[in-house]
Amino acid sequence: QKEVEQNSGPLSVPEGAIASLNCTYSDRGSQSFFWYRQYSGKSPELIMFIYSNGDKEDGRFTAQLNKASQYVSLLIRDSQPSDSATYLCAAYTGGFKTIFGAGTRLFVKA
Amino acid sequence: GAVVSQHPSWVICKSGTSVKIECRSLDFQATTMFWYRQFPKQSLMLMATSNEGSKATYEQGVEKDKFLINHASLTLSTLTVTSAHPEDSSFYICSAREGEAFSQPQHFGDGTRLSIL
């Protein structure tokens, strides 16, 4: 069964620090990867996606992909209390199928 | 861009009622739409996937006669919870995807909070 695994957390970081969120996936044929943020009681919103090995930066966010290790990460620089949310990692495995992880709860302490 | 509108955002109704939730892609054509439910502090659970003009594909354990899905056009999908009971109370979220390219993300609606009394 195709899976996306994330540590459920909570991950607690002080304001201004770098938050590092990690994800592994089981299907080596996964083609692209997405990070979503979900605030409590709200629906997920797309932060960024990556499909090539290496790093991709967008503002304070950097996604990293290592296909050999089947590993995806999201770094949040200069973390703010407003970044406190659950972060979902997702892998597109083809055939219209995107597999979502259960999410990591991030708590940024002011 | 890539806005998904979901209505209603909140529904409270009596047990036995049928409830229809609409999901529209406002600025793109949604080749595929997805319906999820989420209980408090739990992860997203995919209920079904639908492609425009064809029958929905339901996940194992989801009753297709209870959760009717209609993907009538490239911009509209509906989920009808038939004869709803208190155990159907949950947060229902639709999602839409444009095309088949692997780089296309799923975009989510704001969700519908369903409470059955």
Which tens digit of pLDDT belongs to each residue from B63-73? Answer: 999 999 998 89
The C-alpha of B6 sits at a distance from chain A's nearest C-alpha, in angstroms, of: 11
Quick one: pLDDT at residue A36? Answer: 97
For B91, which residue in chain A has the nearest alpha carbon? A41
Quick one: pLDDT at residue A21? Answer: 98
Residue A37 DSSP SS3:
strand
pLDDT (mean) for A50-66: 97
- Provide the pLDDT confidence category of residue A1 given band limits of 50, 70 and 90: confident
CB within 8 Å of chain B, chain A residues 23-42: 31-32, 34, 36, 41-42
Of the partner residues B32, B108, B110, the one whose CB lies closest to the CB of residue A96: B32
- Provide the pLDDT confidence category of residue B56 given band limits of 50, 70 and 90: very high
Residue A21 DSSP SS3:
strand
Identify the sign of the CA torsion A92, A97, A102, A103. Answer: positive
